[in-house]
């Protein structure tokens, strides 16, 4: 059975997130009819799946484009953050300050804080950024 205009409209509305009950009301059919189209009509299900796959690919393309566009900004923000951390480490006089900065760096970089500060003795010894960053290499 070929899909008619009502089927195609129902598919479009399903893609927009409209409920089967609302679609049925708009098309002048029962909700079980729309459910049957979706669950028992192979052509209907294939067309709905085809459109969902196309939308998924389109969204991936959009995500990829935004990621490419934002990557330079993300890198610039990271550089600014690291410069601020270096300045803060240069000014840090207490091991607790260095440990706090290590926690910030770990959180921002998505790494385990224990890599930067394995124990309290290391927190006492780690007083410059280069020493801390060596532990991540």
**Could you identify the residue written with the tokens 């669950």?**
39
Q: Residue 119: its pLDDT value, please? A: 57
Residues 115, 117, 120, 121, CA torsion sign: positive
pTM over 0.75: no
Q: Does residue 134 or residue 58 have the better pLDDT?
A: 58
Is residue 125 pLDDT above 60, yes or no?
no
Q: Residue 100: its pLDDT value, please? A: 74
Q: How many CB atoms lie within 10 A of CB 124?
A: 13
Q: Residue 115: its pLDDT value, please? A: 59
Model confidence pLDDT, tens digit, residues 2-45: 899 999 999 999 999 999 999 999 999 999 999 999 999 999 99
Q: Residue 121: its pLDDT value, please? A: 47
Going by C-beta distance under 8 Å and a sequence separation of 6 or more, which residues neighbour residue 59? Answer: none
Element at 123 (helix H, strand E)? helix 120-125
Model confidence pLDDT, tens digit, residues 56-104: 888 888 878 877 777 777 777 777 777 777 777 677 666 677 677 777 7
- Give dist(CA 91, CA 50) in Å, integer: 59
């Amino acid at each position: 059975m070929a899909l008619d205009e009502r089927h195609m409209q129902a598919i479009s509305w399903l893609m927009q997130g409209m409920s089967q009950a609302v679609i049925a009301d708009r098309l002048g059919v029962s909700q079980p009819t729309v459910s049957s189209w979706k669950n028992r009509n192979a052509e209907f299900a294939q067309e709905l799946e085809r459109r969902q796959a196309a939308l998924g690919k389109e969204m991936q393309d959009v995500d990829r484009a935004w990621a490419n566009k934002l990557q330079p900004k993300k890198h610039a923000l990271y550089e600014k953050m690291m410069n601020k951390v270096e300045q803060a480490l240069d000014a840090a006089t207490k091991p607790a300050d260095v440990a706090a900065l290590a926690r910030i760096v770990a959180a921002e970089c998505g790494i385990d804080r224990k890599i930067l500060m394995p124990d309290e003795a290391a927190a006492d010894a780690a007083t410059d950024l280069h020493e801390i960053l060596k532990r991540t290499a």
